[in-house]
Structure 1
Amino acid sequence: MKQTLPSRCALALFIMVPAWPLCAESQASPGDGSRYQHFMVYPHRQAGYAAMRVGDERTAIAEFTRARELAPQSVDTALDLAEAYRHFGHAAQAQTVLNEQMRYTPNDSRLRAAMTPPASPAVDCNRDNRPVCRAKRGFGDLQTGDLARAQAELDAPDFAASPEGRRLRHALVQRAIYIGDDQRAVTQLAELDAHDKLSSDERNQWFMLLLKLGKLDAAQQLQSRGGLDAPTQQLSMAQAMGSSGDRKLLASYMAVHQPTFANAKDERQWINLLAMAGRIQPALLDHYTVRFPANAAWQARAALPLAMMRGDLTVAGSMLSRLPADGFHEERFSLDLQQGRYAEAQQQAEMLIAQPDGYRLLDPLSYRLMEAGALHGAKQLLLDAYPFTGNTHSAALWARLAVLAGEQPALFSADDRIRLRRPLDSVTLRVAQLQILGALRDCDGIHQVMADLSPDYPAELWRQLGDCYGKDRPGLAEYAYAQAGKRKPSMDTTRALAYQAYSAQDYETALLAWRSVPAAHMGQADLIAAATTALTIHETAVASAWLDTYAAQGGKQDGTYWWLRAQADEPHDPVLASTDLENAVDVQPDPRYYARLAALQAQAGDAQQALASWQHASALAPDDGGLAASLGYAYLQAGEPQKALVSFERAHQADPDNPALTRQLLYVNQRLGDYARARFYDEQAIDQFGAVDPDGTSSDTKQDQDALYSLRRLHENLGRTWSFNADMSLGDTVSSAANTVAPGVSYRSYAQWEAQYHLDPQLTGGDLNTLTAYARLFAGSGVSGAVWPVHEAMLGIGVHWKPLISQNIVLSVEQQTPADNSRDTHNDTLLRASGSWSFGPKLSDDWHASGWGWPAQNFYVDIAHYLRAKESVVTLDYRFGLHDKIASGQTIEPYIHLQYTGIDRSQGLTYLRDGRAGLGVQWNVWYGETHYDAYPHRFSVAVEGQHAFTTYLRDRNAVFLIVRTQW
């Protein structure tokens, strides 16, 4: 029995509009497949219908074939493909498709009808204009006038209420949808609903059809009539809007619809659509409240990249808090970096790198850390991967680490530097390693890495090592430059070697390097440096040649040029050198120039000009202690000790630990009579020797010991106001040995006690001991020749005057008065001139701090005249002894003694002579020394035997016991 399709299906088939699913759903059979297959097949069937309508055979066959592949047992796909084959004249292929389908659905009535198509009904449609006839012919063939007649027919109550009218209304809606007349489709759907009271399923089917066809406006208007606001329908509308690509429309729709979904799947799809609309209105996704907890993370995953993209750190942080902590490291890294949490960003970067193939991220992650200012994190990240073996971006990583080392060396700890100093396995790696050490200026590290002295190290690295050592280790820097020159000779390297060798005081090498550079390749600065080098080692001719070249090149003839020129000219022409220096100070006043000019002027004997030059030099450098000292010496030579003192004090302030300046201040103050200041500087000079033992034996050298003792002796003398001494001699016969006490008087024994008061030299305008008042009491054995010297006592009061500073010559005036009632004594006035010389401090009779002992000599001359007695006496006395130290401050001194005495009495009428020699031994004891004062006291006991070669006395031989003390 022949079975026909329902009118609704036939009409849809004839007009080729996508209403076939309506028919298919109502006529579904076991061979029609699932709803999912219908969903997948539908677009291809629609495309096939459209291609058949326009006569596109290839596309129609292809689309129906694809639909058949998706639903190979479906009757619908078989009928579509067979009809397409028949439509384009391929009956055999159509029959093959139908025969194949018979295996799956042999009882399907539609398939059987297609296998034996029915004869056309005897209907004369040319005469019959009813819409039903038109529908049978195919509604797609209707013209505008036919549509108008069809609409008029539908207005007829009898036909509108019939099933054919209902089917026609559906067809008109379908046609309006098909031709894209959305407004007509909506209007006709409203009419269809008004006449036929569509069910909710039918309304949903029309709504879904509009959405599938992309008729969004029509679908929205249909939805606005109500009944289509279920969450799934809102979701479908949003999905259709999303498929259209109109995000603005989607955002505006979703902003006013907040469906409550019954399952997590639909809610998740809604969240996906919110993420699509989030580019327009981010708040829709950010503020959406999920119903199902499983979708909270889904929402966070969708919202997080959008928040990161627009820089909304608050939302990004909130979303990350909903996500597992062991994921999303990239987002957490970016967020921490932007919010300045550098330690946390470093941790996230380490987690990213720890992932499989994460080493590829080291380059961008370290770069981003550096750009954000997280330098410590970038450094640590790079050092953790050091030395980047196997990383495809190793060159960039080495360079980045070197940049960090150069800009932030403080970031690298001692442990980091130790690690970076360990030589790597290959020369290539060590070359890269050296770039980092060079940036750190780690000279020790560079030297350690290059310890193998591989010939493969390029000259640039040796140059770098030289630059690194530069100031701190000039010798090693010179070696490095020399190695660079061997590997890659160049003028620049030779210049660097020359400069560095000069800095290392290797002037010969520096000069050799300069000589290897042609003058044509030397700049003016190079010529000046080369000339300076030559002059340093006194190669004046070579220096002159370079200075000539400098002048020929138009070099500036400034102070430096004339200064060098003066040094070159001085050996053979000091006058020309002085002229050069005058030119130098005219162009550029400099203390060095004035100082050298002063020295040349002094050599030429022009003391005043030299003094003026020293004054200029010191004025230009008032803090230069050396210049101030030189000016002080110049003032001394000019006889201006007061100005010299000012200069020396300025020099001493600049260099208070200079012992030469301290002693100079001591001597100048002594010369000016300011003993208090002289003693102050004397104490400083003593302290500058350091702690020593009282006898001076702990000094470093013999000269230091003697110098220290001299300073102590001077300190003691400068502080002395009173001096006391006592002498006593006991002899076995009368001798002239007592002449120092009473010139011209012979005693067997004598004794003397004397006190001297040193007048203040600032009052007298003199030097130490210049003027001394004294009083003495002396006595002898008398004419009776008694043993004890207690007879004929005399009191002498007088003044000693020392007219010369450099000579120990004393002029004395003494008034003598008898101290007892002896008839042999009387008042008299003694005029006396005496002098004493030891001919050098090494032969003085004072204690010597150094050595086992010392030879001592003294030559004494005494000329005395008694005014009342009119008697003159001349005494010449020479004594030579050898002190042998037996203890600290004690010596045994054997000595010889030569003496000549001449006495003129009664104005030349009587002249007496006495010449004798003596041998003796003396025990000397010095005591009372302090830290600053030499021994102030001395006690001596001697035994001496004499023999007179010529004498006016009775006895020629005598033996004496002599005792002396001074304090």
Structure 2
Amino acid sequence: MKRLFGFPLLACLVAFPVAAAEPLSGFQQFRSYPFLDRAYREAGRNNWGEVERLMRHLLERVPRSEEARRLLMEALIKQRRYAEAEALSAELGEGHEALLELRLAWIEQDPPTATQVEQWLLHSEGDQRVRLWQAYSLSLAKFGGAKRALDWLSQLPIRGDGMVLRMSRANWAERLRDWNATEAQLAALEAEGQLGADDWRRLANARVQLLDEEGLQRLLTQSPSPAAEREVRLAMLDHAVSLGRLDMARRWLASLPAADRDSDAQRARIWELARQGGDAPLVRELGDQLRRPCLETAEWLSRHDQAAARQQLQTCRGEDDPQTWLVLAQRLHATDLLERQRLPEPWDSARRERLLELWREQGRSDLALAWLARQPQTPALQRRRAELLQASGQTEQAERLWLDYYRSSGDLQALDQASYLAVQGGRRDQARQWLEQAFDRQGGRLPVPLLQRLAGLYAETGAPFDAVRARALLPHLDGDSRASLLGRMAESGDCNWLRGEIGETPRAPVELRILGRCAMPARPGEAVIYYQQALAQGDQASRLPLAYALEAAGDAPAAWRIWREQAPERLDNIARLTAARSALTAGEPQAAERYWQSAQSASADDWALGAAIAQARSDLPLALARQRQALQSQPAASHYYGAAATAQQAGDLPQSSAWLAEAVRLEPDHPRYNADYGMRLAASPSAEQRRRAIALLERATRDFPEDYRIGETLAWRYDEAEDSAAARRELRRVIDLEQNPVAGADEYGSLEARRYRQRRAHETLSRRDSFTLASTWSPAGVATNDILRDDGSRSGEERRAASSNVQMAVWDHALGEEPSRAGRSLSVYGRALLGGDGRHRYGRSLGLGLGLRYRPIGTQNLNLYGELYAQSELDDADFDGFSLGQWLNPGEVSDALNDHVRKGRVSTDLLLRATASFLDQGDWRNDWRVDEDRWNERFLYLDAAWWTRAGDHAWLSRFQQGHAWKLHTESAQTLMPYGFIEFSAQDPNNDWRQDLRTGVGLRWQLWYGDSRYNAYPARVTVRGEYQWGLAGNLYERADGWLLGVEVNF
């Protein structure tokens, strides 16, 4: 095609301008001929590059050769170099036909941009302009689709080509089914009166598609012919019908000629449209006019307008189509029609059934029963009445009718219904009696449902059970019914017969399951074995009983593994509670809570389980609330006991004690309740309640002789009640018990610590006589803890520091039948003191005292003294000194004592004294620790003395704290570095003197003398300390060393 196109174009290029151009000379023509001849031959070969070269060469020689220029133009066009060809053609004039053909070829072969074409159109007129935009729109449609061509044409301005341009736009819009654009273009031609017959039809079609009734009516006034007008009206009618526009279709139907309007075909079209649009009145009207079947119209109306459908159905003959009539009557709930209409059989029987079904659906069983009562009574009708009574909930009347029907007909299905209703109504005994009679009458050959119902009645827990009848029923049962009845026989205690029936080697899973049930609850371990064997044989019904048995046998984790495999919604209430208990015991409190929440908690046990779960989840307020709920559900003593434990853990001790007391009241002989209540009372802040605890604890020691805590607590209460003998006796029993202990270390300490604590308490209660020997050396003259009164002989001397020593011996004897009474005691004591004023000068002062010591408070280390005190002191002239070695010579000792008798200044006085020690109890006490290697000690010692005759006073206060280490020796020894601060004051001759000092020291202690019942009654203490005087004039703030030795036994 490209080659064929080139020669006409070349002809155009050559033919038209030849006459206008100046002719070439002969010589020029002669020179041109070889080149032109060769160029035409190359053009025939499509060698357009060679043609271009030859023609350019020729134009250089003969510039005025138009034929060469046009052949060059053809070569450029063939090479798609249209711009160069256009520039070359400019010499021919813009309106030249050759330029137009060039541009058309350009558009066809290699479309330029729209801007380029629009530029051409600006300089083109008339037919050339039309040909250009027509060619370009075709090119756009070819490469970009009709939409692109329409869009480009729509934006072109009209310049004398409006009619053609609008028609072209309308053509493209029609192709795109763009009826709005089609109508807009053709409407302009309509307004100008330029529409032809074909364009009129095209515009009419566009307005039909747009449902433009107003525009279409205007256009119809210009119709080219009546046939064209009728065709358009029918098209509009068809379009309205297809779109379901019923009103529009009716208007255009009315506009048709009478012959068309009254035809059945058009009415059928409107009738169909009315059906589609749901216009019930029009459907009925046209259906009558078209003589449509009455039931057909009623069926359509039943889905759109039931009231109209019922009216229509009343006009229809049921005999014409009984089945359809029945369906419609039931759909429309036309009970009145069903009640009075008569149909041929078997449809009339179906009519009666439909009527009864409708009344039942409407809840009008009364109408159905009344209608049945009016009908001739037949067995079938009697059965139907029973069914209706049963369906309406009148079960007792239905039961009587079913039973009467059974007795008159022998129909076992009627007995099935009568016994079912009796069971549902709670009349199980009556149902069982009917079934037993039928069983006897039929020789056991009853339908399976009746046998299963009878077996179910026998299997119900709590129902009367006849083992003989159950045994007779068993051969007629299988599957679940047999298993449930066997289980009921096992529960009723008929296990001996069952074992004989099963034999020594059970094989069937149900037999193993029954043996497992016989073993519960007395032998849960045996039951576990049977259930596991049954489960191994595929008896899934044994899975849940196995879980119960495992729980009862104490294997909660294994039980929990079974419970969590079960879907919770398939478990009954008891199973969910048991699963919750297994999960709790297995350490899964969150899962236990979920199961417990899904169950119905009705009993105190259920609420107590919920409380235990909440307690395991550390939700003590919720646990306490659930315990309160448990105590509102017929609680037993065990529930009060459990609630008391929860309240104690929640910190509500008053409520816990009250609940524990109620548990004891409900079960006064329960050992554990009495023991715990006794322990609770023993810890009460009320002295009266602590005394009440003694009787309970005495009983508890008989019930739980191995519980050392009860024995210890009873001993403390005996001691508080001032019965030290009973306290010591109980402690000895506990000590003997701990020689072969039942329990080792617990939360109250190690076994060794318990033994020591008990023996220390016994030793304290047993101590009647106490002896103390002490000696203190103070080489630098610093303070001591022992007081020798200054008799005033040295009152004129300055109290300067000097070496001193004091030796003391004390004997203390407790008075009364018992050494102590609730920690209080009254003792008589005697003491002797020796004092010296040098390192080697002993015995210058001699003091003797005899008095009473009273400890008024058993829980505090406070002592009050009243003492007759006598002191002898030698002057320097009468005292030669007495060395430490002389103590070994009795004669020298006797001489020293005679010096005091003959030469000593003797003074007597009544000494009143009070001492107290604080901050030295519990973990800070000065005592041996059997289960510790190191510990802290401290004390605050206060000592006040008043010599009533002389009027002198003395005060000493000392705070000391240290850390003791055990020495790794076989004996009990400790070494303790310590620090202290001490304040002392004296007022001899009403001259007050004070001293404040501090220091550090090292103490060694040896504990000894322990026995089976007494822990270390004696100890030796050696201490050395260095003191710094801080303030005061009692010792002139002297610094120095102090050494002390003390023996207590």
* TM-score, normalised with respect to structure 1: 0.45
* TM-score, normalised with respect to structure 2: 0.42
